[in-house]
Amino acid sequence: MATRKALLVGIFVFDEVEVLDFCGPFEVFSVSSATGSPTLGAFDVKLVAQTMEPVSTRGGMRVLPDFTLDDHPPFDILVIPGGPGTRRDINDPRVIEWIRHSQPRVALTSVCTGALLLAEAGRLDNMEATTHAGSHDWLAQYEAVTLRPEARFVDNGWVLTSAGVSAGIDMALHLVERLMGAETATFTATVMEYDRRAMTPEI
Amino acid sequence: MATRKALLVGIFVFDEVEVLDFCGPFEVFSVSSATGSPTLGAFDVKLVAQTMEPVSTRGGMRVLPDFTLDDHPPFDILVIPGGPGTRRDINDPRVIEWIRHSQPRVALTSVCTGALLLAEAGRLDNMEATTHAGSHDWLAQYEAVTLRPEARFVDNGWVLTSAGVSAGIDMALHLVERLMGAETATFTATVMEYDRRAMTPEI
**Given a cut of 90, is residue A201 above it in pLDDT?**
no
**Given a cut of 70, is residue A166 above it in pLDDT?**
yes
Q: pLDDT per residue over A124-159, tens digit each?
A: 999 999 999 999 999 999 999 999 999 999 999 999
The candidate with the shortest Cα–Cα distance to A14, out of A85, A108, A69, A100, is A85
Question: Per residue of chain B (203 residues), what is the pLDDT tens digit?
Answer: 445 699 999 999 999 999 999 999 999 999 999 999 999 999 999 999 999 999 999 999 999 999 999 999 999 999 999 999 999 999 999 999 999 999 999 999 999 999 999 999 999 999 999 999 999 999 999 999 999 999 999 999 999 999 999 999 999 999 999 999 999 999 999 999 999 998 887 65
Per-residue model confidence (pLDDT) at position B202: 62
**Given a cut of 70, is residue A2 above it in pLDDT?**
no
Alpha-carbon distance B151 to B171, whole Å?
11
Q: Looking at residues A108-130, what average pLDDT do you find?
A: 98
**Given a cut of 70, is residue A202 above it in pLDDT?**
no
- Binary contact (B27, A59; C-beta < 8 A): yes
Question: Exposure of B148 by Cβ count < 10 A (0-12 exposed, 13-18 middle, 19+ buried)?
Answer: buried
Per-residue model confidence (pLDDT) at position A1: 46
Alpha-carbon distance A66 to A13, whole Å?
10
Alpha-carbon distance A107 to A131, whole Å?
17
ipTM confidence score: 0.94
Q: Write the residue in B29, B58, B164 that is nearest to A30 by C-beta.
A: B58
- Binary contact (A45, B59; C-beta < 8 A): yes
- Binary contact (A166, B194; C-beta < 8 A): yes
Question: Exposure of A101 by Cβ count < 10 A (0-12 exposed, 13-18 middle, 19+ buried)?
Answer: exposed
Of all residues in chain B, the one with the smallest CA distance to A196 is B195
Q: Write the residue in B62, B165, B191 that is nearest to A63 by C-beta.
A: B62
Q: Looking at residues A62-87, what average pLDDT do you find?
A: 98
Distance from CA of B81 to the nearest CA of A (A): 13
Going through A50-158 in order, the beta strands assigned E by DSSP cover 55-56, 62-64, 67-68, 77-80, 107-110, 127-129, 145-147, 153-155
Rg (Cα) of chain B, in Å, rounded? Answer: 16
Q: What is the mean pLDDT of chain A?
A: 96
- Binary contact (A166, B60; C-beta < 8 A): no
What percent of chain A is modeled with pLDDT above 70? 97
